[in-house]
A and B are shown apart, each in its own frame.
Chain A
Amino acid sequence: LSVPPEIPKEDGRPKWDNKFQYILSCIGFAVGLGNVWRFPYLCQIHGGGAFLIPYFIALLFEGIPLLYLELALGQCLRKGSIGAWNTISPYLGGVGVGSWMVSVLVSLYYNTVLTWVMWYFINSFQEPLPWSVCPLNENRTGLNKECYESTAVNYFWYRKTLNITPDVTESGTLQWWLILCLATCWAIVYLCTIRGIETTGKAIYVTAIFPYLVLTIFLIQGLTLPGATDGLAYLFTPNLSTLKNPRVWLDAATQIFFSLSLAFGGLIAFSSYNPPKNDCEKDAVTVAVVNSLTSLYASIPVFSVLGFKATTGYWDCLDRNIISIINEFDLPEESIMRQNYTTWISFLNSSYPEKIAGLKLKSCDFQEFLDQSVSGTGLAFIIFTQAIILMPGSQAWAILFFIMLFSLGLSSMFGNIEGVFTPLLELRIISKSIPKELLSGIICLISFLIALCFTLGSGSYWIDIFDRYAGSLPLLVIAFFEVIGVVYVYKIKRFSKDVKRMTGRNLNLYWQITWRFISPLLLLIVFVAFVVLQIQKSPSYAAWNPKYEGFPMKEEKVYPPWVLAICVLLAILPCVFVPLVALFQLIKRMRRSKEPSFVPPEVFSCQGANG
């Protein structure tokens, strides 16, 4: 009689090599481009340090509870999003399908943003950087007109990279250089996700840790730049009066929600590969806290660099004025310096006002330079690239910066692709004989072909549309149904028993209250506020039109009706699966109940779902 000791139950499910890989994957998924280019912007426009208050409140009552819910769910049921929600209740299967749909839509456009990053990266090896000089016009008499009127950086972004059309309805042609970069990006994604978490688990060591290294380097470099302290002071000076504006609270709630990448199904997929007895409570708190701290950490170098850029812009403005004044009044060199500029200007204005007026000096206001706040792609590809030109050794800084952005985006892409890949693997439609490599190859190939639309001239307008409509509203709906589903359909008592089996602890009061009341309520409020704000103004977009009178300002245009229809479709499509599947299951059940051999559906629980 010999009893074999714990040979693990072979259910054929892949698992993480170690716990660190799992935590790193979750952190990499949560920490993305938004931490670098959206959080600092929100801090800036919502009163600096004061924004941290609604941000941490939202983290406490919305972010961490929802994150714990998803991780516990995946670990308990050990299935991807579609399978997990089908297990919870057949009526809630639509939640899983909705998650899957959102992951598909977001993967499509997110990789195109990485394409732009890659394009800038491979252009950073040139000396001088191609976005620092304007090309000449055709007859070599002067600079290219579009470039001259805006700036070289703007020109490189809008013309050389995007080749943007003036209107969303004009599609333009496919840009071959973007197609090459898109193919490369999808090849990289395929390479890293070729065998599911076996390969992403190895790749994540690099893509999740490297951005922190680069952020530290930029932090050190940024703090040594002139004007960095002004930028930081501007960012962090709290202005508590902004807290009265409900918009601030809404932005904090949405930022936490989207920053943690909830409701994509990727987190459920990641935790489904865990061993059943894993402390997911500690994991959830760790991931959420690291994500927020990363946002804060990233905003320091971003704002040092922005402060530096504002300072150099201000100094350039001053220098140009000083040269004109010195030329006009024939004063000796270095008589007017930046420090005594204001005294000189007031003196000259009182003594020779007509001459000063004739010079047409531009008013240099430092605050105005600092106030130019941008978020999103504008921050990375226009503002930051301009600042990099001014730093010594700009090639190295550009290369580092774009590799960092690429790693940040790639680790988020892993989560998105897992959210698509894992449920497909579990569907019985896909037979076991298709090797994983082939399935991931097919997914990447189809996504590449669809994403070719984003390489058209109007591609960036479409990406904005996808980002605003597919990547925002459906997530709120799905998350709301997630919480309601687990707490009220699956019943929280059952879930706490499952959680106790996994973590060894009871659900304490904080989780009970947030799961039962606070988080669903918060989600509902945020959803309603979001919809109301969207409906209030007719959706418009800013177009880059060289023929516009106010060029280089962007032209405000309204979406034509067919584009609006697509926006609504994108927002509704994932959400509509929730009632659709419920209805479908109801009809199936009613039809089955008419037959005499009606068997009541089995009661699923975590124990039953294992193995």
Chain B
Amino acid sequence: YTWDANEEYLFKAMVAFAMRKYSRKSTTQISNVLLCNVTDRVSFWFVVTDSSKNVTTVPGSEVEAAIRMNRNRINSAFLLSDKTLQFLKITSTLSPPVEPSTPVWLIVFGVVLCLIVAAIVFLVVAGIQQRKKKNKESTERENLEEKGEVTVENGIPCEALDLKAGHVNGVFAADDERFTSL
């Protein structure tokens, strides 16, 4: 927005407001705030006069304190911030960075760690179960072999050969007889 007489009026009003709030007297008027040396840069000097005391200027420290107290109201009136609306010789107090009670990273870390530990436990338990099952199967098969119920050839049970992995050669298995009769 362009800086014109209306904005200057608003500025005077804000300074008067700040002075009223700070000193709690309702005597400061807009006409008490004087602007001088307005440049194109939009920078100027201003003084606040005290009409009750023979047109003297209010001391600078009082004005500074008043403005510092109401800084954010003044800023938001002009839609500016501490950086874009500068009062020379009035430094802004720094606000500390927001620190949540538990550091966020600990929370994320906890989540990640829980997931990983759960996955490891799952894999280890699955591995142990698989091993137990394999042991049980191999002892069962050994028992069956000892009893002679399952014939094994080349380490492969004959049932597997007959049913799934083997092919019956039609030429030799004429008459549906696979074994020669005695």
Chain A residues with Cβ below 8 Å from B97 are: 128, 133, 135-136
* Interface size band for A: 35 or more
Identify the closest chain A residue to B83 (Cβ).
A323
Q: What 1/0 flags go to A136-148 for Cβ under 8 Å of B?
A: 1000101100000
Q: Indicate the size class of the contact surface on chain B.
A: 20 to 34
A331 to B40, CA, bound (A): 6
A-B residue pairs in contact (CB < 8 Å), sample of 8: A7-B165, A10-B155, A133-B97, A136-B94, A136-B96, A188-B116, A330-B43, A437-B127
Task: Tell me, yes or no, whether B174 is within 8 Å of chain A by CB.
Answer: no
A33 vs B69: C-alpha distance when bound (angstroms) = 53
- Is B117 an interface position by the 8 A CB rule? yes
With the chains together, A142 CA to B92 CA distance in Å? 11
Q: Which of B105, B119, B120, B123 is within 8 Å of A123, CB to CB?
A: B105
| Residues from chain A with Cβ under 8 Å of B161 in the complex | 2, 4
Given known pairs A126-B104, A184-B109, A435-B131, the reply for A1 and B172 (CB within 8 Å) is: yes
B108 at the interface (CB under 8 A from A): yes
A 185-213 to B, binary, CB cutoff 8 A, 1 in contact else 0: 00110110011000100000000000000
- A436's nearest neighbour on chain B, judged by CB, is B127
Q: Is the CB of B168 within 8 A of A2?
A: yes
A142, B94: Cβ atoms under 8 Å? yes
CA distance A125 to B105 in the complex (A): 7
A393 close to B (CB within 8 Å): no
Q: How far is the CA of A119 from the CA of B166 in the complex (A)?
A: 58
**Chain A positions 105-163 with a Cβ under 8 Å from a chain B Cβ:** 119, 122-123, 125-126, 128, 133, 135-136, 140, 142-143
Chain B positions within 8 Å of A, measured between CB atoms, are 39-43, 94, 96-97, 104-105, 108-109, 112-113, 116-117, 119-120, 123-124, 127, 131, 154-156, 161, 165-169, 172
Which residues of chain B have C-beta atoms less than 8 A from A122's C-beta? 105, 108-109, 112
| Most chain A beta carbons < 10 A, residue from B127, B155, B169 | B127
Whether A437 contacts B124 by the Cβ 8 Å rule is yes
Chain B residues lying within 8 Å of A195, measured Cβ to Cβ, are 123, 127
Chain B residues with CB under 8 A of A184 = 109, 112-113, 116
- Contact partner of B165 among A1, A5, A188, A437, CB < 8 A? A5
Chain A's nearest CB lies how many Å from the CB of B162? 8
Q: Contact partner of B124 among A10, A133, A194, CB < 8 A?
A: A194
Q: Which residues of B contact A595 (CB under 8 A)?
A: none
Q: Are B169 and A1 in contact (CB under 8 A)?
A: yes
Q: List the 10 closest pairs (A to B, CB-CB), nearest first.
A: A332-B40, A330-B39, A122-B108, A330-B41, A126-B104, A122-B105, A2-B166, A123-B105, A187-B116, A122-B109
